[in-house]
């Protein structure tokens, strides 16, 4: 027969072998890419998925105090500062509810029966309850000069030591404001953000990072 | 004779214009499902050259469109700048903890696309040891808790430059600085060429590469035509200092959400304002000062 035709068989078999080889390499490559991709997702976590504000219902996106400000209008604008109410624990105020009946114990000690959740971490070790709380009338706070003030004026107490920050707060530079840049604003008390017994700001969980460009548009 | 010719000419032109409009309106209505008014809007001139009546008509038309699309009342305003007001922003770097509350409050307030995701604010994490080094910074940090020990955070959005390169390069003048200093975009006039994005040294402008996805429940219905009204595919968008809020006296959304109170806002022309106080009393700087863009966004250290 034609010698050319006899060559066809071995040629096509080598082609098949080549094809199988290519397919194998291809499969391996795809496999490693998929595996590698999964590994990236596992280790880096952030930047792969698009999160929206709606994914965090626990966060109050619109401060409701704006409605109170609007309702109050400009009438109350003569007040010194429109501060938020003090952040009392539930059913703790007025303090005299319990303390009026009790004999004051001015001895420095670790509190055991009540208020044992309070851990003082504020300035020097000598700090003690009655540096700020008033002994005779527990519903009031006491300034260093003996003046008694309400809890809603506690910024005056903090301002005794933290003068520069107090000044900034009054000017609206320290702390958060809600309201109108050209009108009434709601101030927060120091204690609304800082735990007065351990005032250092505690770290919080950040919201997720933006999507990396390579994962944008509906992955 | 010339009069005849002229009269005939005008008639023909009018006829052609009318016929063309009618054809386009029919086609547009049939193929896109948009209202016939949308065609008129498409043929309208740029926002700055509209008469008050035309603005009113467009606002009403937009409100109708959005309300139908999202199944709830959406208002679109065109509140003008106030007199004797020039807005400025202050951000306290010594307080910012990088929690990104501002980023997402901004998305919620300003109706950004959820997917593909658009963020007007980008918080950069930097090493304290290296100081402010944009090239070494990362926006993708994702630790369990912030602030991290050896890092500080620099949120960056539109710097509202007095000498804004983005407005100068726009070939169709679809973006400009308003009298109160806010750099705005006319989404109806933007052709999506993205020249402004390449001109902006702060990466503050963002492009709608696809039709923005904005769930109806998530829509903020208080909108401004040059600000947070829902956008369309193919236009550029950016921070407007929450134009829909600040022109009504409110603070921007990012400043009200900030848990550490690092964000300050006010009128640069008012000596008693918070922003003027911090410029007077604190150490202040602007980003990329050497470019002479003269931002109205001031970073400061309160401590």
For the stretch B21-35, pLDDT in tens is 667 666 655 555 556
H-helix or E-strand spanning residue A141:
strand A141-142
pLDDT (mean) for B103-112? 97
Report d(CA B206, CA B120) in Å as an integer: 7
Q: Are residues B92 and B59 in the same domain?
A: no
Report d(CA B298, CA B278) in Å as an integer: 9
- Chain A residue numbers with beta carbons less than 8 Å from the beta carbon of B119 are 210
Q: Are residues B132 and B197 in the same domain?
A: yes
pTM score, two decimals?
A: 0.82
Residue A198 to residues A56, A106, A193, A201, B148: CA-CA distances in angstroms? 28, 21, 11, 9, 20
pLDDT in tens, B191-203: 999 999 999 999 9
Supply the pLDDT for residue B177.
97
Q: Residue A70's closest chain B neighbor by CA?
A: B250
Query: Which domain does B72 fall in, by range?
Result: 2-77
pLDDT in tens, B48-72: 999 999 999 999 999 999 999 999 9
CA A178 to chain CA centroid, nearest Å: 17
Q: Is B261 exposed, middle or buried (0-12, 13-18, 19+ CB in 10 A)?
A: buried
Count of domains forming chain B: 2
Q: Are residues B92 and B52 in the same domain?
A: no
Residue numbers of chain A with a pLDDT score lower than 70: 1-11, 32-45, 73-81, 217-219
Supply the pLDDT for residue B238.
97
* Cβ atoms of B111 and B222 closer than 8 Å: no
Distance from CA of A54 to the nearest CA of B (A): 7
Q: Are residues B153 and B38 in the same domain?
A: no
pLDDT in tens, B88-98: 999 999 999 99
* Cβ atoms of B109 and B290 closer than 8 Å: no
Sorted by where each begins, the domain ranges of chain A are 3-44, 55-193
Instruction: For chain B, give the mean pLDDT.
Output: 90
Q: Establish if A64 touches chain B: CB-CB under 8 angstroms.
A: no
Q: Which of B25, B44, B77 is the last residue of a domain?
A: B77
Instruction: Return the closest-CA partner of residue A190 out of A156, A147, A164, A218.
Output: A156
Residues 184-223 of B with CB under 8 A from A: 209-210, 215, 217-218
* Cβ atoms of B149 and B134 closer than 8 Å: no
CB contact under 8 A, B265 and A52: no
Q: Are residues B207 and B113 in the same domain?
A: yes
Report d(CA B244, CA B252) in Å as an integer: 9
Q: Is the pLDDT of residue B211 over 70?
A: yes
Reported residue count of chain A is: 219
Token representation of residue B257: 């959400």
Q: Are residues B121 and B85 in the same domain?
A: yes
CATH number at residue B218: 3.30.70.20
Token representation of residue A167: 């000044």
Torsion over CA: A139, A142, A147, A150 (sign)? negative
Supply the pLDDT for residue A79.
54
What is this model's ipTM? Answer: 0.85
Q: Is the pLDDT of residue B3 over 50?
A: no
Q: Are residues B227 and B170 in the same domain?
A: yes
* Cβ atoms of B71 and B216 closer than 8 Å: yes
Q: Are residues B138 and B194 in the same domain?
A: yes
Q: Are residues B225 and B278 in the same domain?
A: yes
Q: Which of B55, B77, B99 is the last residue of a domain?
A: B77
Q: Are residues B26 and B173 in the same domain?
A: no
Supply the pLDDT for residue B153.
97
Q: Are residues B148 and B210 in the same domain?
A: yes
β-partners of residue A142 are A148
Query: Rg of the Cα trace of chain A?
Result: 34
Token representation of residue B241: 């200092």
Q: Are residues B122 and B207 in the same domain?
A: yes
């Amino acid at each position: 027969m034609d010698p050319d035709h006899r060559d066809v068989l071995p040629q096509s078999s080598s082609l098949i072998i080549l094809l199988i080889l290519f397919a194998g390499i291809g499969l391996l490559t795809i496999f490693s890419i998929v595996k590698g991709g999964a590994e990236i997702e596992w280790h880096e976590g952030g930047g792969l998925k698009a999160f929206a504000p709606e994914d965090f219902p626990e966060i109050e996106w619109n401060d409701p105090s704006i409605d109170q400000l609007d309702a109050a209008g400009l009438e109350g604008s003569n007040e010194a500062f429109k501060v938020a109410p003090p952040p009392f624990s539930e059913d703790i105020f007025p303090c005299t509810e319990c303390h009026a009946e009790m004999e004051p114990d001015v001895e420095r000690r670790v509190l055991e029966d009540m208020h044992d959740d309070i851990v003082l971490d504020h300035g020097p070790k000598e700090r003690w309850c009655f540096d700020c709380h008033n002994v005779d009338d527990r519903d009031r706070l006491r300034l260093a000069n003996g003046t008694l003030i309400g809890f809603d004026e506690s910024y005056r107490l903090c301002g005794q030591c933290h003068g520069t920050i107090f000044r900034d707060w009054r000017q609206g530079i320290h702390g958060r404001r809600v309201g109108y840049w050209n009108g009434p604003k709601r101030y927060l008390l120091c204690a609304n953000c800082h735990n007065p017994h351990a005032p250092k700001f505690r770290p919080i969980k950040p919201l997720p990072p933006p999507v990396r460009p390579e994962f944008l548009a509906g992955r | 004779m010339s009069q005849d010719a002229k009269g005939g000419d005008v008639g023909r032109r009018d006829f052609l214009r009318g016929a063309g409009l009618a054809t386009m309106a029919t086609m547009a209505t049939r193929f896109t499902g948009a209202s016939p008014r949308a065609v008129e809007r498409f043929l309208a001139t740029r926002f700055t050259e509209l008469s008050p009546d035309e603005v009113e008509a467009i606002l009403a038309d937009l409100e109708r469109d959005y309300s139908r699309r999202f199944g709830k009342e959406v208002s679109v305003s065109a509140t003008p700048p106030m007199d004797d007001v020039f807005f400025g922003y202050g951000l306290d770097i010594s307080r910012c903890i990088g929690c990104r509350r501002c980023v997402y409050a901004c998305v919620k307030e300003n109706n950004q696309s959820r997917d593909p995701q658009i963020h007007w604010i980008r918080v950069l994490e930097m090493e304290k040891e290296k100081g402010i080094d944009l090239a070494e910074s990362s926006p993708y940090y994702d630790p369990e808790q912030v602030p991290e020990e050896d890092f500080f955070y620099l949120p960056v959005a539109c710097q509202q430059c007095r000498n804004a390169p983005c407005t100068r390069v726009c070939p169709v003048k679809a973006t400009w600085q308003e009298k109160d200093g806010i750099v705005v975009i006319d989404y109806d006039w933007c052709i999506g060429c993205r020249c402004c994005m390449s001109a902006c040294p702060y990466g503050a402008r963002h492009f709608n590469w696809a039709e923005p996805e904005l769930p109806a429940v998530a829509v903020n219905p208080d909108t401004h035509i040059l600000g947070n009204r829902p956008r369309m595919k193919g236009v550029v968008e950016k921070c407007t200092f929450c134009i829909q809020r600040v022109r009504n006296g409110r603070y921007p959304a990012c400043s009200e959400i900030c848990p550490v109170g690092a964000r300050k806002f006010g009128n640069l022309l008012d000596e008693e304002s918070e922003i003027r106080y911090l410029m007077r009393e604190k150490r202040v700087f602007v980003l990329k000062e050497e470019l002479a863009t003269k931002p109205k966004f001031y970073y400061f250290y309160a401590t």
